[in-house]
């Protein structure tokens, strides 16, 4: 078998940050069906997320905008200050154009509406893993 014909798959470590337990569980279930992804943690707010970023060093963070403590936008800015920042996927009900713009400027790699684009998160992670973890912006 030719090595060039083997599709490279990379297991990506993903941290989920959302104040809704229902959303976190739904994401966990969805991500468990993506063989190339390992959900390494779930937290409900920015302070916990910052701690988990230090401890777990995820390659991808899925985050909401509205959370207790500091906002998801604050967390996004914090994430992107890291030496090797993880890919950031914003998944929110606050999908207004002004939030999209702010998130893009803060470093979001992807921005999805929870109510209409929830399943796109898994699609994006599958695509990225097939490309060996390349980061393509598709906002």
Q: Kindly report, residue by residue over 16-33, the tens digit of the pLDDT.
A: 999 999 999 999 999 999
pLDDT tens digits for 45-81?
Answer: 999 999 999 999 999 999 999 988 889 999 999 999 9
Residue 68 DSSP symbol:
S
* 110 vs 119: CA distance, rounded Å: 13
Residue 36 is predicted with a pLDDT of: 83
The answer to whether residues 15 and 43 touch, using CB atoms and an 8 Å cutoff, is yes
pTM of the model: 0.86
Residue 128 is predicted with a pLDDT of: 85
Q: What strands lie across the sheet with 110-113, from one edge to the other?
A: 37-43, 12-17, 60-63, 87-92, 110-113
User: Is the model's pLDDT at 4 over the cut of 70?
Assistant: no
CA 105, 115, 128, 45 dihedral sign is positive
Of 26, 35, 32, which is closest to residue 64 (Cα–Cα)?
26
Domain regions of the chain by residue span? 3-130
User: 3-130 maps to which CATH number?
Assistant: 3.40.50.2300
List all residues 6 or more positions away from 111 whose beta carbon is below 8 Å from its beta carbon.
Answer: 89, 90, 92, 95, 100, 103, 104, 139
């Amino acid at each position: 078998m030719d090595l060039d014909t083997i599709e490279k798959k990379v297991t990506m470590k993903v941290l989920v940050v959302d104040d809704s337990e229902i959303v976190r569980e739904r994401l966990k279930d969805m991500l468990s069906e993506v063989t190339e992804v390992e959900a390494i943690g779930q937290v409900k707010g920015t302070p916990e997320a910052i701690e988990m970023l230090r401890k777990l060093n995820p390659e991808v963070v899925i985050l909401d905008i509205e959370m207790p403590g500091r906002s998801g936008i604050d967390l996004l800015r914090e994430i992107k200050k890291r030496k090797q920042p993880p890919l950031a996927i914003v998944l929110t009900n606050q999908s207004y154009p002004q939030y999209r713009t702010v998130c893009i400027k803060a470093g979001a790699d992807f921005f999805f509406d929870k109510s209409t684009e929830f399943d796109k998160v898994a699609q994006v992670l599958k695509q990225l893993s097939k490309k060996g973890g390349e980061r393509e912006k598709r906002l």
